[in-house]
Amino acid sequence: MTKVHLRGRTRLVAGLAVAGIALAGLTACSDDEQTPSPGESASGASSAEGVDDGTELTMWTRAPLEAQATRLVEAYNASHDNQIKLEIVPNDDMESKVGGAAANGELPDLLAGDVVRVPYWVENGLFTEITDNISALPYKDDISSGHIDAGTLDGAQHTLPFVQDISVMVWNKDLYKEAGLDPEAGPTTLAEFQEQAQAVADLKKDGVSGTYYGGNCGGCLVFTWFPTIWASGDEVISEDGSQSLLASESAKALYETYAGLNESGAIGAGSKEENGSTWVAPFQNGNVGVMQYPNTVVKAAIDAGIDVGVGPIPGVDGGSSTFLGGDGMGISKDSEHVDQAWNFLAWMLSDDTQLNVVAKAGDVVSRNSLLENEFTADDPVASVAAQAIPNGRTPVAAYFAEAFNAAGSPWVTLIRNATFDRTDTVDADNDAITAILSQ
């Protein structure tokens, strides 16, 4: 039986009610029960590679990451005796599917989830601890830390980066030229962002806006706005994940910038209602001057014929940061093949896989020393990623999704009040976020 970690039973019961995960499926082993950690033999000898003995493994991942997951699984299956059966779960069904499976002891061997949801799953005991296994990896200090941090509870590590996505700043070079801007120089401060967005808006071209944002999409906004606050030297939530810090001076400067762009007419039509379903489309259609954007879809904009400039997201007065998003992966509490599942995780982060499967496909690698490589040497998008990732962050909070990503979350309310309606309620709205985080 594998060891799982549970903390705060009262909070756990309340949280499970929200996610639909029944408590019955989450009983933990006694601390004095001597069970080997994954990748560790009964004698205590640790194996960094795990076991490849022809075992069939199961894996779940969200539909948005189907392409990346399929590439990794196909490459692994082609080169190993172990075989992975991959199940792609619709994004909107992931939470309920995981909750039901956790209650019934039916989670897959390998479970991947949105990095901002991972802390909640870890706190509710859904993963096996893999601290010793990660420590045994010769490249452990080279792994992008955000996804490991998201899966760390009381010093115990449970997850590794599966698919990494980051947020970047993009601009339309053709529109910049028309507006008299340098097409090779995107914004390096918040003020420059506002000036450049306004310059494009002032072209008064039919259907063209200076910028665009998901004004009704909490996930879009954390992914693209948190980096400005980090780059300005401020935090977005407290270290223990229980307090919102989104009423800082840098945060208020960010909100005021967008409020000003709204008032000047520089924000694209539809931003106020944008729930994320069409968030990237206006830029991809050539109708937006400059905006923060997911790195994973920049190539689609280029393929659509847009001459795209790419840069890191700046702070109020300079600096840069990015949101280390994507999905983390761990070995579930229900896996009976822990050593074999670890074999996949260790292989996934090896030099060969990161270069010849991940980087070769144009995806962002999860090893810092491999960010610049033969496949990305002449790729400006990859160059920006290499620059941004070391300064990137992943916020960690058990109730992050409820506070920020959920429809009608207090974070969405704060943004709408501050940037569309100017209600001057940032401090009170920030307190409402804290009330969710501190459940």
> Per-residue pLDDT tens for 332-372?
999 999 999 999 999 999 999 999 999 998 888 999 899 88
Residue 339 in tokens:
């050593």
pLDDT tens for 269-314 read 999 999 998 999 999 999 999 999 998 888 889 999 999 999 999 9
Question: pLDDT, tens digit, for every residue of 82-93?
Answer: 999 999 999 889
Average pLDDT for the chain? 88
> Does residue 375 form part of some domain?
no
Q: Tens digit of pLDDT for each residue in 67-110?
A: 899 999 999 999 999 999 999 999 889 989 999 999 999 999 99
Considering the domain architecture, whether residues 319 and 338 belong to the same structural domain is answered as: no
The answer on 65 and 151 residing in a single domain is yes
Nearest C-alpha neighbor of 127 from the set 145, 149, 153: 153
Q: Give the pLDDT of residue 43.
A: 28
**pLDDT, tens digit (0-9, with 9 covering 90-100), for 170-192:** 999 999 999 999 999 999 999 99
Asked if pLDDT for residue 32 goes beyond 70, the answer is no
Are 178 and 272 part of one and the same domain? yes
- pTM for the complete prediction? 0.78
Considering the domain boundaries, does residue 358 fall inside one? yes
Tell me: pLDDT of 18 over 80.
no
Model confidence at 403, pLDDT cuts 50, 70, 90, reads very high
Report if residue 308 sits inside a domain.
yes
pLDDT at 45 over 60: no
Regarding whether 286 and 173 lie in a shared domain, the answer is: yes
Residue 3 lies in a domain: no
Residues 303 and 363 in one domain: no
Q: What's the pLDDT score for residue 42?
A: 29
Could you tell me if 266 and 349 lie in one domain?
A: no
* Proportion of the chain above pLDDT 70, given as a percent: 89
Structural domain includes residue 387: no
CA within 13 Å, CB half, 308: 27
CB atoms within 10 A of CB 306: 22
- For the domain that residue 407 is a member of, what is the CATH number? 3.40.190.10
pLDDT at 414 over 90: yes
Residue 418, pLDDT score: 98
| Structural domain that includes position 342 | 9-164+327-370
Same domain, 253 and 333: no
| Same domain (yes/no): 99, 211 | no
Q: Which two tokens stand for residue 139?
A: 């490249």
* Residue 6 buriedness (CB in 10 A; 0-12 / 13-18 / 19+): middle
Residue 378 lies in a domain: no
Please indicate, yes or no, if residue 76 is contained in any of the structural domains: yes
Same domain, 254 and 240: yes
Instruction: Name the domain count of the chain.
Output: 2
What's the burial of 259, exposed, middle or buried (CB within 10 Å: 0-12/13-18/19+)? middle
For the beta carbon of residue 8, count every other beta carbon within 10 angstroms.
11
Q: 406 with 344, same domain?
A: no
- The answer to whether position 116 is within a domain reads yes
pLDDT at 380: 76
Same domain membership, residue 159 and residue 72: yes
Convert the pLDDT of each residue in 382-402 to its tens digit: 778 777 888 888 898 889 989
288 and 425 fall within a common domain: yes
What pLDDT score does 240 carry? 92
